[in-house]
Chain A
Amino acid sequence: MQKFTKQTLTFFPIFALLILAVVSTANAAPAQPKQKNIILATTTSTQDTGLLDVLIPLFEKKTGYFVKTIAVGSGQAMTMGARGEADVLLVHSQAAEKKFMADGNGVNRRLVMHNDFIIIGPPADPATIRQSKKAAEGFKKIALSSALFVSRGDNSGTNAKEKEIWKAAGIQPEGQKWYQQTGLGMGQTLGVAAEKKGYALADRGTYLAMKKNLGLDILLEGDAVLLNIYHVIEVNHTKWPKVNAAGAKAFADFMVSKQVQGIVKSFGVEKFGSLLFFPDAGKKVEDLGK
Chain B
Amino acid sequence: MEIIFAGIKQALSLLVSLDPEVMGITWLSLKVSGTATLISLFIGIGIGTAVALTSFPGRQIVVSLINTGMALPPVVVGLFVTIFLWRNGPFGALEILYSPMAIIIAQAIIATPIVMGITLAAMQQLPRKLRLQILALGATRFQMVWLLIKEAKLSLMAAVMAGFGGVISEVGASIMVGGNIKGYTRVLTTATVMETSKGNFDVAIALSVILLILAFAINLVLTRIQQRVRPR
The listed residue (B31, B95, B101, B196) touching A24 by CB distance below 8 A is: B31
Contact B100 A29 (CB under 8 A): yes
Q: A70 and B98 in contact (CB under 8 A), knowing A21-B31, A84-B88, A85-B88?
A: yes
- B92 on interface, CB distance cutoff 8 Å: yes
Q: Which of A10-18, A93-101, A111-119, A245-253 contacts B (4 or more CB under 8 A)?
A: A10-18
Contact B198 A22 (CB under 8 A): no
Given contact pairs A10-B225, A83-B88, a sample of 13 additional A-B residue pairs in the complex whose CB atoms are under 8 Å apart: A14-B221, A21-B35, A22-B38, A25-B100, A28-B28, A29-B99, A68-B179, A69-B182, A85-B86, A186-B197, A187-B196, A210-B198, A214-B199
Contact B199 A212 (CB under 8 A): yes
- Majority-rule SS of B interface residues: helix
- Majority-rule SS of A interface residues: helix
- B180 on interface, CB distance cutoff 8 Å: yes
Contact B180 A71 (CB under 8 A): yes
The listed residue (B35, B88, B197) touching A25 by CB distance below 8 A is: B35
Number of residues of chain A lying within 8 A (CB) of chain B: 44
* Bound: A191/B199 CA distance, A: 8
With both beta carbons as reference points, the residue of chain A lying nearest to B37 in the complex is identified as A18
Q: How far is the CB of A237 from chain B (nearest CB, A)?
A: 12
Contact A17 B201 (CB under 8 A): no
- A34 on interface, CB distance cutoff 8 Å: yes
The listed residue (B38, B86, B101) touching A83 by CB distance below 8 A is: B86
The listed residue (B28, B38, B179) touching A70 by CB distance below 8 A is: B179
- A37 on interface, CB distance cutoff 8 Å: yes
Contacts of B167 in A (CB 8 A): none
- Can you show 9 pairs from A to B with CB atoms below 8 A apart? A18-B38, A21-B35, A25-B100, A71-B180, A84-B88, A184-B197, A187-B197, A187-B199, A240-B88
* Bound: A25/B42 CA distance, A: 18
Of B38, B104, B199, B201, chain A has the most CB atoms within 10 Å of the CB of: B199
- B80 on interface, CB distance cutoff 8 Å: no
Of B87, B104, B228, chain A has the most CB atoms within 10 Å of the CB of: B87
* Bound: A191/B198 CA distance, A: 10
With both beta carbons as reference points, the residue of chain A lying nearest to B96 in the complex is identified as A29
Give me the interface of B with A, judged by CB distance under 8 Å: 28, 30-32, 34-35, 37-38, 86-88, 92, 95, 98-101, 104, 179-182, 184, 194, 196-199, 201, 221, 225, 228, 231
With both beta carbons as reference points, the residue of chain A lying nearest to B225 in the complex is identified as A10
Contacts of A85 in B (CB 8 A): 86-88
Contact A48 B34 (CB under 8 A): no
- A39 on interface, CB distance cutoff 8 Å: yes
Contact A242 B198 (CB under 8 A): no
With both beta carbons as reference points, the residue of chain A lying nearest to B201 in the complex is identified as A213
The listed residue (A25, A47, A68, A69) touching B32 by CB distance below 8 A is: A25
Of A21, A22, A71, A209, chain B has the most CB atoms within 10 Å of the CB of: A21
Contacts of B98 in A (CB 8 A): 39, 68, 70
Contact A25 B87 (CB under 8 A): no
* Bound: A213/B7 CA distance, A: 14
- A3 on interface, CB distance cutoff 8 Å: yes
Contacts of B194 in A (CB 8 A): 47-48
Contact B38 A34 (CB under 8 A): no
- A188 on interface, CB distance cutoff 8 Å: yes
The listed residue (A21, A212, A242) touching B87 by CB distance below 8 A is: A242
- A56 on interface, CB distance cutoff 8 Å: yes
Question: Which are the 7 A-B pairs with shortest beta-carbon distances?
Answer: A210-B199, A187-B197, A21-B31, A68-B98, A21-B34, A70-B179, A242-B87
* Bound: A8/B69 CA distance, A: 32
Q: A188 and B101 in contact (CB under 8 A), knowing A18-B35, A22-B38, A242-B87?
A: no
